[in-house]
C-alpha cells in the first residue's frame, strides 16, 4: 500500500469535493398539500434542476418549515430561501401588492391576473418594500376570482349578506363588510374547521382551494358569478440567497419563471374545465347571482374601498394612485391584446 496518492487520484478527490461544494440546495416553504396553487413552485424546482444538471435543487416543504402567516418572516431571517405567502395574511408588511386585492378590478382570467401582477411586482415601490424583508418578488400565484361556498339557503341579495359570517381576507373582506357581512381572516388551513364548527357561514376561495381545504365538502351551494376579486400570493426568494447563486444558477431560475407560470395556467385550466362535474359529484348547487345585485355590490364596494386604499397608501408615502393606474392600464392593454 503506497503512502502517497497518485496525481490522478488527488485530482479526482479534489474534483469530487469541489463538485459537492458547488451544489446549491434551497428550501422552499409553502403550506397545505400539493395542488393547483403550488404547481408553478413544483415546476420551477423541476426546471432549475434540469437546467443545471442537478447542481441547483429545491426541496419544497408543505408546512414543515413555517406557518403560512410566517413565511415572509422566515425569508427575512434566511430560515429558507424561497417561500409563498398571501398578501392578506400581513397587509402591513406588503402594502404595495395589496392593490391587486382591491375588489371588482375587472380581471377576467388568469392570463390577465399574471399581467397585472407582473406589472406591480416590477414597480420600484414593490421591490423596495420587499427588500425591507430581504425578499425579492419572483412570481405570482395567479388565482381566479373568488366565489363563495355556503351552508343553508343561498345568499342571493345584498340583504342576504347582512350579518353573513364570511372567511375573506384583504380587499375581499372589506368588500363584504361594506354590504353588512362579517369577515374573518382565518387562514386557508383553518377554513374547513371554521365552516364545520359554524364560526363562518360562507368561505370565499378560488376553486382549487375549495377542493384542497375541503370547504366544498361542507357546502350546500356555490356562487358561480359573484367574482368580487381575488387575493394576491407572491412567491419570493431571499435576496442574499439569490445574489449568492452562480450566473448559471441565476439564469436557470430567472428563465424558468415564465415556463413555470405557463405550466400553472395549463394545469388550472384543466381544473376549471371539470369544475361543474365536481359540484355535481359533491351535490353542491351552482347559483347565479342576478347581475343587478352584482352591480349594486360593485357600487357599494369598489369605488369607496379603492379611494380609501389610495388615500391610505399616499398618506404612508407610497404611490397609491400610480399603482392603481398601473393596474388599470396593464389590464386594459391585456384585454386589448386578447388576453
CA atoms within 13 A on the CB side of 206: 20
> 259-315, pLDDT tens digit by residue?
999 999 999 999 889 999 999 999 999 999 999 999 999 999 999 999 999 999 999
Q: DSSP alpha helices (H): ranges in 152-224?
A: 158-161, 170-178, 191-196, 207-212
Look at domain 147-230+283-336 and name its CATH class.
alpha beta
Task: Give the pLDDT of residue 19.
Answer: 45
Q: In the β-sheet with 135-139, what is the strand arrangement from edge to edge?
A: 56-62, 24-30, 82-84, 235-238, 135-139
Confirm if 194 and 167 have CB atoms less than 8 A apart.
yes
pLDDT at 137 over 80: yes
Largest CA distance in the chain: 90
Q: How far apart are the C-alpha atoms of 333 and 218, rounded to whole Å?
A: 40
Task: Give the pLDDT of residue 16.
Answer: 46
pLDDT at 185 over 80: yes
In this structure, the strands spanning 182-184 and 165-167 are: parallel
Q: Which three cell numbers stand for residue 45?
A: 424546482
Using pLDDT thresholds of 50, 70 and 90, give the confidence band for residue 88: confident
User: Per DSSP, what are the bridge partners of residue 221?
Assistant: 150, 285
CA distances, 183 to each of 104, 215, 288 (Å):
17, 16, 22
Q: To the nearest whole number, what is the mean pLDDT of the chain?
A: 93
Confirm if 204 and 146 have CB atoms less than 8 A apart.
yes
Which part of the chain is CATH 3.40.190.170? 24-142+231-272, 147-230+283-336
Q: Which three cell numbers stand for residue 164?
A: 353573513
Task: Give the pLDDT of residue 195.
Answer: 95
For the chain, what is the total number of helices (H) and then of strands (E)?
A: 14, 11
CA distances, 168 to each of 89, 99, 191, 235 (Å):
11, 16, 10, 21
Listed residue (268, 258, 264) closest to 138, CA to CA:
258
Report, as an integer, the average pLDDT of 120-145. 97
Task: Give the pLDDT of residue 3.
Answer: 43
pLDDT at 325 over 50: yes
Task: Give the pLDDT of residue 21.
Answer: 53
What percentage of the chain exceeds 70 in pLDDT? 94
Domain 24-142+231-272 has CATH 3.90.550.10: no
Report, as an integer, the average pLDDT of 114-121. 98
pTM of the model: 0.86
| Degrees to nearest 5, angle at CA 188 with 146 and 228 | 15
pLDDT at 5 over 60: no
Task: Give the pLDDT of residue 270.
Answer: 92
Torsion of CA 110, 100, 160, 286, to 10 degrees: 10
Backbone angles phi, psi at 132, to 5 degrees: -65, -25
pLDDT at 48 over 50: yes
Task: Give the pLDDT of residue 186.
Answer: 87
Q: How many CB atoms lie within 10 A of CB 310?
A: 20
CB contact set of 15 (below 8 Å; sequence gap of 6+): none
Q: Burial of 31 by CB count in 10 Å (0-12 exposed, 13-18 middle, 19+ buried)?
A: buried
| 106 Rama sector, left if φ>0, alpha if ψ -120 to 50, beta otherwise | left
The CB-based long-range contact list for 103-106 (8 Å cut-off, 24+ gap) reads 103/171, 103/172, 103/174, 103/175, 103/228, 103/229, 103/298, 103/301, 103/302, 103/305, 104/175, 104/228, 104/229, 104/297, 104/298, 104/301, 104/302, 105/229, 105/327, 105/331, 106/331
Amino acid at each position: 500500500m503506497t503512502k502517497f496518492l497518485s496525481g490522478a487520484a488527488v485530482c479526482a478527490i479534489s474534483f469530487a469535493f469541489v463538485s459537492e461544494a458547488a451544489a446549491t440546495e434551497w428550501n422552499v416553504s409553502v403550506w397545505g398539500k400539493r395542488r393547483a396553487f403550488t404547481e408553478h413552485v413544483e415546476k420551477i424546482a423541476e426546471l432549475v434542476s434540469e437546467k443545471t444538471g442537478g447542481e441547483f435543487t429545491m426541496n419544497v416543504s408543505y408546512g414543515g418549515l413555517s406557518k403560512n402567516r410566517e413565511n415572509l418572516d422566515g425569508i427575512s431571517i434566511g430560515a429558507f430561501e424561497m417561500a409563498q405567502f398571501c398578501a392578506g395574511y400581513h397587509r402591513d408588511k406588503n402594502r404595495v401588492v395589496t392593490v391587486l386585492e382591491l375588489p371588482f378590478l375587472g380581471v377576467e382570467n388568469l392570463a390577465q391576473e399574471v399581467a397585472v401582477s407582473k406589472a406591480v411586482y416590477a414597480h420600484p415601490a414593490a421591490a423596495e418594500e420587499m427588500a425591507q424583508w430581504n425578499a425579492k418578488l419572483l412570481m405570482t400565484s395567479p388565482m381566479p376570482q373568488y366565489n363563495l361556498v355556503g351552508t343553508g339557503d343561498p345568499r342571493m341579495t345584498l340583504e342576504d349578506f347582512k350579518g353573513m359570517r364570511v372567511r375573506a381576507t384583504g380587499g375581499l373582506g372589506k368588500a363584504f363588510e361594506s354590504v353588512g357581512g362579517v369577515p374573518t381572516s382565518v387562514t386557508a388551513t383553518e377554513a374547513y374547521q371554521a365552516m364545520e364548527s359554524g364560526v363562518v357561514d360562507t368561505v370565499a376561495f378560488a376553486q382549487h382551494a375549495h377542493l384542497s381545504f375541503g370547504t366544498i365538502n361542507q357546502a350546500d351551494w356555490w356562487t358561480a358569478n359573484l367574482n368580487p376579486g381575488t387575493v394576491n400570493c407572491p412567491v419570493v426568494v431571499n435576496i442574499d440567497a439569490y445574489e449568492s447563486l452562480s450566473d448559471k444558477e441565476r439564469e436557470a431560475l430567472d428563465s424558468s419563471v415564465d415556463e413555470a407560470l405557463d405550466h400553472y395556467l395549463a394545469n388550472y385550466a384543466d381544473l376549471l374545465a371539470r369544475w361543474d362535474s365536481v359540484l355535481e359529484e359533491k351535490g353542491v348547487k351552482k347559483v347565479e347571482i342576478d347581475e343587478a345585485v352584482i352591480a349594486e355590490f360593485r357600487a357599494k364596494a369598489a369605488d369607496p374601498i379603492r379611494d380609501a386604499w389610495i388615500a391610505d397608501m399616499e398618506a404612508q408615502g407610497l404611490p397609491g394612485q400610480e399603482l392603481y393606474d398601473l393596474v388599470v392600464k396593464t389590464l386594459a392593454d391585456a384585454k386589448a391584446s386578447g388576453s
